[in-house]
C-alpha cells in the first residue's frame, strides 16, 4: 500500500506540474531567470515533500503546485501589463563591454568577475576579450556578443576583405513606451525622436510597438497592427 500511495502521489504530481508548465508558457524553459530557477526548485520541493510525507496526499500536491503556479502566472501578467515593473521584477540587460572596453562598474554591479566574463565569452566563441566589440549580460545570466570585424566568422581577412565598423542596435520604444536611457546614451533627445517618428507618419509613442536604432541604418519602427 505504501508503494501504491507513492505511485498515486507521483502520478498526480506529474500531471499537475505538466499543466502548470503548459499554462506558464515556453519562456519559463527557454529564458530562465533567477526567479524562474527558484520557482522550479520550489515546485520540485513541493511535490517531493508531498510524495514522501505520509500525511500529505495528492490533493495537497495539486493545491500547492497550482497555487504556486498561479502566483507565478500573476507575476507574469503584471510584467506584461505594467511595463515599468519589468526592470524591477525581471531585471534588464547590461552592457559589460562597450566598444572593446570592459565596463568595471557594470561588472561590479552584476557580481561578475573577469574569469566569469571570459567563461561566458568563450561559450560564444570569443576566446579573447580583444575580439569583442560589444558584450551584453542578459537577464537570464547568458551573454550576447558582437565581435569586431576582423574576428567575425567567416574571417574577413581570409578573403582579403577589409572590415567595416560595427554598430550596436539600441531599443528606443517598447510597447508604446520610450526607453529614454537608451535614447540619451545614443546622444539624442525627445525632439529628435519626435521628428524621426513623424517621418514614418507616427505622431504618438503609444502607436509604436517596437522601435530600434543604430548608426548605420537609423531608426526602424514597427507599429501595432
User: Which has the minimum average pLDDT: 68-72, 134-138, 187-191?
Assistant: 68-72
Residue 97 contacts by C-beta under 8 Å, 6 or more apart in sequence? 103, 129, 132, 133, 134, 135
pLDDT of residue 30: 46
- The string of pLDDT tens digits covering residues 144-165 is 999 988 887 776 666 666 667 7
Contact 143, 137 (CB under 8 A): yes
Q: Hey, is 54 helix, strand or coil?
A: coil
133 pLDDT band, cuts 50/70/90, is very high
Domain boundaries, the chain: 2-87, 93-159, 170-223
Burial of 211 (C-beta count, 10 Å sphere; 0-12/13-18/19+): buried
Which residues are paired to 98 by β-bridges? 101, 134
Distance, in Å, from the CA atom of 92 to the CA atom of 109, rounded to the nearest integer, reads 12
Write the class of the CATH domain 170-223. Answer: alpha beta
194: its cell numbers: 519626435
Fold match between 93-159 and 170-223? yes
125 pLDDT band, cuts 50/70/90, is confident
Architecture of the domain whose range is 93-159: 2-Layer Sandwich (3.30)
What crossing angle do the helices spanning 34-52 and 2-24 adopt, rounded to 10°? Answer: 160
CA torsion sign for 62, 41, 106, 146 is negative
pTM of the predicted model, to two decimals?
Answer: 0.55
- The string of pLDDT tens digits covering residues 69-80 is 777 777 777 767
Amino acid at each position: 500500500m505504501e508503494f501504491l500511495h507513492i505511485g498515486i502521489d507521483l502520478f498526480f504530481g506529474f500531471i499537475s506540474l505538466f499543466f502548470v508548465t503548459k499554462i506558464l508558457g515556453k519562456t519559463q524553459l527557454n529564458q530562465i531567470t533567477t526567479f524562474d530557477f527558484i520557482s522550479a526548485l520550489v515546485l520540485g520541493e513541493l511535490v517531493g515533500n508531498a510524495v514522501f510525507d505520509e500525511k500529505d496526499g495528492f490533493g495537497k500536491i495539486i493545491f500547492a503546485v497550482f497555487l504556486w503556479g498561479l502566483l507565478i502566472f500573476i507575476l507574469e501578467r503584471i510584467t506584461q501589463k505594467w511595463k515599468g515593473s519589468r526592470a524591477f521584477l525581471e531585471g534588464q540587460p547590461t552592457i559589460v563591454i562597450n566598444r572593446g572596453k570592459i565596463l568595471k562598474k557594470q561588472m561590479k554591479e552584476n557580481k561578475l568577475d573577469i574569469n566569469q566574463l571570459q567563461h561566458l565569452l568563450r561559450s560564444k566563441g570569443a576566446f579573447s576579450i580583444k575580439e569583442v566589440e560589444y558584450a551584453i549580460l542578459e537577464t537570464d545570466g547568458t551573454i550576447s556578443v558582437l565581435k569586431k570585424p576582423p574576428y567575425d566568422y567567416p574571417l574577413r581577412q581570409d578573403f582579403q576583405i577589409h572590415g567595416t565598423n560595427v554598430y550596436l542596435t539600441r531599443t528606443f520604444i517598447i510597447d508604446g513606451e520610450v526607453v529614454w536611457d537608451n535614447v540619451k546614451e545614443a546622444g539624442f533627445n525627445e525632439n529628435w525622436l519626435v521628428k524621426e517618428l513623424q517621418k514614418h507618419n507616427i505622431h504618438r509613442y503609444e502607436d509604436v510597438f517596437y522601435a530600434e536604432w543604430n548608426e548605420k541604418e537609423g531608426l526602424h519602427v514597427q507599429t501595432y497592427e
